[in-house]
Chains A and B, each alone.
Chain A
Amino acid sequence: MIKKKFNLILIIFIFSFIFLGLFLGLKKESYYVPKNFNTKKVINLKSKEFFSRKEIKLYDILKNDNLTIINIWASWCLPCREEHKYILALSKESNINLVGLNYKDKFSNAKKFIKKYGDPYDIILADTDGTNSIELGAYGVPETFVIENKKKKILKKYIGPLNKISFNEIKKIIKDENK
């Protein structure tokens, strides 16, 4: 009798333990970001300017200020609309270079998007076949890179839409860099 009760308790205990483990696992961030990512240098990728479709190299953009923020976006991407207010807020920061990378988008749709929600970018690049994003090391849209201009290093990378926490983090990086 006692043994039966003990077994029951044991089973309940084990099950609740497994349940708890799996439940917590659900909430865990499951994106894989390579270690030592921060030491990675961006390559001088060839892209096209969004409006003129003229060829442009990334290193030509990483010049004016200390920091460059590259935001990968597309008009068909819903989370991009969600994070757009943060990008707009970032555009008000001085001392940064805000670059938009338009990912696999139709020109007309992308233009409509900017018209409707506002254009926060200093310059927009057109990544028509998605290869620029791969060369940056991105997974998809939206994604945001914070790059230090002199060493061309990626300081931080955000997969998915920006939120209040990541927005404040970026603001802190900008503040620290311009000390």
Chain B
Amino acid sequence: MKINKYFLILILFFLSQFTFVYGANKAELVDEISKNLRCLICQGQSIYDSNSDFAESMKILILRKISEGKNKKEIYEFLKSKYGDWIVYEPTFNKHTYFLWLLPLILFIFGGILILKKTLKVK
């Protein structure tokens, strides 16, 4: 009887630990996702930073989606389909953003060539 009691306490303890960890993971995931979302009605803030009605509702929705078993990518895709690519901070790589992504690389190579040419000339 005594052993049973301790056993029960032990199980309850582990269970509480499990739910604690699981709950924390969810909240962390909400934070992680909301940090990468632009608050569309407040300028220069992420959903994570903002306390506007829009952002608060968005956080509730993200938590609900996570509870439904949706992963990060699915949630981003859902929000992008509703609000456009603009809602995520990191622009996706598609035909509209080729230039955006490749421009720094092109400039870097161009600059490198320029420097190389100059240094070679001096020599």
Could you mark each residue 104-145 of chain A with 1 if its beta carbon is under 8 Å from any beta carbon of chain B, else 0? Answer: 100000000000000000000000011101111101100000
**Quick check: is A21 within 8 A (CB to CB) of the other chain?**
no
**Quick check: is A151 within 8 A (CB to CB) of the other chain?**
no
Residue of B nearest to A137 (CB): B82
Cα–Cα distance between A109 and B6 once the two chains are bound (Å): 53
Cα–Cα distance between A34 and B82 once the two chains are bound (Å): 8
A130 touches B57 (CB 8 A): yes
Could you mark each residue 27-42 of chain A with 1 if its beta carbon is under 8 Å from any beta carbon of chain B, else 0? Answer: 0000010110100100
A134 touches B61 (CB 8 A): yes
Which residues of B (80-100) have their CB < 8 Å from a CB of A?
81-86
A129 touches B57 (CB 8 A): yes
How close is A158's CB to chain B, nearest CB, in angstroms?
Answer: 16
Please, which residues of chain A bring their CB within 8 A of the CB of B41?
139-140
Cα–Cα distance between A40 and B83 once the two chains are bound (Å): 11
**Quick check: is B58 within 8 A (CB to CB) of the other chain?**
yes
B60 touches A130 (CB 8 A): yes
A129 touches B40 (CB 8 A): no
B86 touches A34 (CB 8 A): yes
Please, which residues of chain B bring their CB within 8 A of the CB of A130?
53-54, 56-57, 60
A104 touches B83 (CB 8 A): no
Please, which residues of chain B bring their CB within 8 A of the CB of A40?
81-82
Which residues of B (5-27) have their CB < 8 Å from a CB of A?
none
Q: Nearest 9 pairs between A and B by C-beta?
A: A130-B57, A34-B84, A137-B82, A131-B61, A134-B61, A129-B60, A134-B57, A139-B41, A131-B57
Q: Give 30 pairs: A residue, B residue, CB < 8 Å, sorted on A.
A: A32-B84, A34-B83, A34-B85, A35-B84, A37-B84, A40-B81, A40-B82, A104-B53, A104-B57, A129-B57, A129-B60, A130-B53, A130-B54, A130-B56, A130-B57, A131-B57, A131-B60, A131-B61, A133-B57, A134-B57, A134-B58, A134-B61, A134-B82, A135-B61, A135-B82, A136-B82, A137-B83, A139-B40, A139-B54, A140-B54
